[in-house]
Amino acid sequence: MTSMFTVINPATAQPIREIARADVAQTDAAIARALIAQRSWASLPPVGRADALRAFARVVEAHIEELAQLEVLNSGHPIGSARWEASHVAQVLNFYAGAPERLSGQQIPVAGGLDVTFHEPYGVVGIIVPWNFPMTIASWGFAPALAAGNAVVLKPAELTPLTAIRLGELALEAGLPDGLFTVITGSGSVVGQRFVSHPDVRKVVFTGSTSVGTDVAAGCARELKPVTLELGGKSANIVFADADLEKAAAAAPGAVFDNAGQDCCARSRILVERKVYDRFLELLEPAVRAWRVGDPADEGTEMGPLISASHRSTVAGFLEGANVAFRGSAPDGEGFWFAPTVVLAEPDDRVAREEVFGPVVAVLPFDDEADAIRLANDTVYGLAGSIWTENLGRAVRVSRGVKSGVLSVNSHSSVRYWTPFGGMKASGLGRELGPDAAEHFTETKNVFFATD
C-alpha cells in the first residue's frame, strides 16, 4: 500500500489534501526516466534549450495567481508575497534561458598544440527544497541546472509540496520532455537520501538546516559527488550612530519578520551602537507593533502564521527566560500564530546565538566599529547581513570585515537571482545564482589538440 502524508493549512490548522510518499523504488524509477530525458535534452542546440525554458516561463506567468493562491493555502505566505514569489519563478526561468548560449569554453595557447575547455552537464541533478520558500528556492536550482543541459529530480518538503507539484505539471504543459523535470514527494530519509546515494544522480543541491546539510555533504563525500549547500543563518543588522535611524528602524521588521522570520537570511540580531541604543529602540517599537499579522489571503497582511504547531513550540522555547522588550500582535484561535517579538539580549544568550527561524529578534549594543564586526562574526553562521551608516568608508570596511556571503548597506535586500548568493562558515558550501550559475551545474573538461 502506498504511504501517504497530510498537507496542513498553517493559518487554519486544517488538512488540505493527502499526498503520496515515494519509496526507494519509485525514486529510482524517476531517476531512470531523468537519465533518458537528459541525454536528448543535452543534445539540443543551446537555442533549443533556451526556447524551451522561455516557454516554461510563459506558462508560469499565465498561472501566477493560481500558484500564489496555492502558496497562501499551503505555506501561509501573505498573498502579496506569494504573487511576488510566483512571478520570481518566471523571472528566474527567463534569466537562465540566456545561459545555454553563454556556456562558452576557453582556448588556452600551449606549446605544440591547442588546449580547449568545455562545460559538460553533470547529467541528473537532485534538488532538495525546504518548506520556507518552496517556489523561489526550487527555481534557483532547477532553472540553471536545466539551462546547463541537466535533468532535474526535485524533492519538496513534506510540509509544503503543492506549488512544486504544480510547477512540475506546468513544465510538461510548456513542452519540456517527460522525465526531464520530475517532482517527487516523500521523506528526506528516503527520497533525499537516495539522491545522495544513487550513482546516476551526479550532483545534489540542498537547502535546509546546517545539521541535515552536514549529513548530506558527508554522504556526497563518500560518493565523491559534488554538492551545493545553502544552510542556516544568524545574520546581523548593524546600525551605527551616524545612520538614518528612522529609516533603519522602519526597515528592521521587514528584515526579520518577513515570512514570519522563517528565512535563513533573516536579520535576527540587531546590533546598535551604544550611544543611540535607547533611541533606536524607541523608534523600533512602533514599527514592530504596526506590523500586520493575520489572514494570509488578506491583501493588507504583512506576516502570516508559522508553518506548524511543532515549529511554533520550538520558536516559543527561545523566549523562556528571555528579556522581552515588546511584542506585536497576532490572531487568536486556530492556526500557528506567533506575535513579532523583540528581545534585549546578551552575546551569550541562546536567542542571540542559535537560529530561531521565527519572528524573534535579539537586540544587542556595541561600542565601536571593531566591536560591531566582532559581534557580527561571533557566530558559526555567515550567510547575510545589513550595515546602516552614512559613512562610505565605514560601510566598505565593515562589509569587508563581516564574514557573510551576502551583505547590504542601508537596506535589508541582498538576494537577487542575477548576483551570486551563498554562505560562509556553517551557512553553506558553494555559490548559487548570478550570471555564471549554470556553470555550477557543469563539469569542466579540458582537451589538448596536438598540432605537431
Contact (CB, 8 A) for 349 and 319: no
Stated as kind and residue range, the H or E segment containing 29 is helix 24-43
Contact (CB, 8 A) for 124 and 151: yes
- Asked if 265 is an active-site residue, the reply is no
Tell me which DSSP letter residue 432 carries.
B
**What b/e readout covers 389-408, taking b as 16+ CB neighbours within 10 angstroms?**
beeeebbebbbeebbbbbbb
Which member of 230, 273, 355, 432 is catalytic? 230
Cα–Cα nearest to 74, from 296, 388, 331, 223: 296
- Asked if 264 is an active-site residue, the reply is yes
Which member of 71, 85, 220, 264 is catalytic? 264
d(CA 206, CA 304): 25
Pairing of strands 360-366, 341-344: parallel
Cα–Cα nearest to 124, from 44, 193, 205, 48: 205
Residue 410 zone, left/alpha/beta (φ > 0; ψ -120 to 50; rest): left
Q: What is the 3-state secondary structure (H, E, C) of 38-69?
A: HHHHHHCCHHHHHHHHHHHHHHHHHCHHHHHH
Could you please report the per-residue DSSP string of 72-130?
Answer: HHHH---HHHHHHHHHHHHHHHHHHTTSTTT----EEEETTEEEEEEEEE-SEEEEE--
Contact (CB, 8 A) for 186 and 155: yes
Pairing of strands 428-429, 227-230: antiparallel
| Measured CA distances, 336 to 8, 268, 339 (Å) | 11, 20, 10
Active site residues per annotation = 230, 264
